[in-house]
Amino acid sequence: MLRNAPKFYEVAKRIVEITEDCIVVAHNAKFDNRILKTEFKRLGFEYKKRTLCTVELAKQLIPGQQSYSLGKLTRSLGIPVSDRHRASGDALATVTLFKMLLAKDSEKSIIKDSIRLEPKLQIEPRLKDIIDELPSITGVYYMHKADGEIIYIGKSKNVKNRVNQHFTSTAPKSKKMQLQVNAVTYEATGSELVALLKESEEIKRNKPIYNRAQRRTIFTHGLFSFTDDKGYLNLKVAKVNGKEKPITTFANLQSAKSFISKTVDEHNLCQKLTGQYQTNSNCFNYTIKKCFGACINDEDPETYNERTSKIIQQHSFENQNMVIIDYGREHDERSAILIENGVYKGFGFYNLNYQINNIEILKSIITPMQHNRDSQHIIQSYLRQNKRLKILKF
């Protein structure tokens, strides 16, 4: 078998290539690693690789076995082995054993150790220290250069995890940020809505170099209304152009279509009068008795418009006076987002021991914020997605 086998120097380059950036897994890994290092040393090459030993792992994860030799262990575990004591047979048996050990590792210590040590995802000690100091809270975080300049602002339901993603990402923007960041500060908000509003406002104010994408408008489509020549109030989805004022806005066309489709079903609106069904006669929903016939003038315009007007009022900011109550930074605290005459005024926090009795008391705790199309979109989107929010009208 060995007479016609290649010499080690003939396969050395290939071994380096196939084990690059790899952890060498072997049964009795110290032995295999020692052989490899010795052979490479003879060629004047230092071969260094991290190893995982299936003997040691098996002793930890499958204790009490009579023997931990590959043959006896695989036999006792029901792992089929063909071509014993040959490279392919032993290697395939070791693979099957290693998969079993990974499955038995309920604490995932093998994976966690590997990820932590993986060169591609390795975090510089400076960045690791920053992550260790961050909490797993909902809030806004700020990345600073050594001189204090903010280079990135973000929000997350879990600040620690999100910053960790930035620091382990191999994306070009993340790599640039990793080189420049010197400190990360944060502000707890408790409420995701407050975090979204705060992030949007402070990106516009600070204009961080790595937030260029978020400086653009965060929505593309809106919901609009018009009255047709027969007196019916129509709804339509269209691109936001700045000329018409939308009732509410959407991040993209798909979410707008999804909203209108759901609204039609919930309120028995006409598919034709909401732009869903192009026809000169009745819409499809009329044939299945989900539309009451506005498409063919069977339903009285006044009755139909009453339902449509309620939808517009529900989703419009126009002349609205309300306070949105959401989570606070502590369990005994709540956040309050104030909308006055259809204008977003700002947010604040109050302790549950103190009830908000009137608008003047509320105004005293509010941090003033800018009302703009982005903030309005954020609030309307959040209200659509979180229908159990407490809303106080005044």
Q: Which contacts qualify for 86-91: CB closer than 8 Å, 24 or more apart?
A: 90/27
Residue 311 backbone zone (phi > 0: left; psi -120 to 50: alpha; other: beta): alpha
- pLDDT above 70 coverage of the chain, percent: 91
Tens digit of pLDDT for each residue in 155-198? 999 999 999 999 988 888 899 999 998 888 888 899 999 999 99
Taking only the tens of pLDDT, the chain with its 394 residues reads 788 889 999 999 999 999 988 889 999 988 999 999 999 999 999 998 888 999 999 998 888 888 999 988 888 877 777 777 678 888 988 988 887 787 667 556 776 566 445 444 445 667 888 898 899 999 999 998 887 888 999 999 999 999 999 998 888 889 999 999 888 888 889 999 999 999 998 888 888 899 875 555 678 899 999 999 999 999 999 998 878 888 898 888 998 999 999 999 999 999 999 998 888 899 999 999 999 999 999 999 999 999 999 999 888 877 788 899 999 988 888 899 999 888 899 988 887 766 666 677 677 678 888 888 888 889 988 988 887 888 888 7
Is there a contact between 334 and 327 (Cβ–Cβ < 8 Å)? yes
| CA 40 – CA 33 distance, rounded (Å) | 11
Is there a contact between 90 and 27 (Cβ–Cβ < 8 Å)? yes
Reference 292, options 276, 275, 272, 277; nearest CA is 272
3-state secondary structure of 390: strand
The C-alpha angle with vertex 390 and arms to 387 and 392, in degrees rounded to 5, equals 125
Terminus-to-terminus CA distance in the chain, angstroms?
A: 90
Tens digit of pLDDT for each residue in 242-290? 788 888 988 889 989 999 999 999 999 999 999 988 888 999 999 999 9
Q: Which residue has the tokens 């290693």?
A: 98
15 C-beta neighbours (distance < 10 Å), count: 15
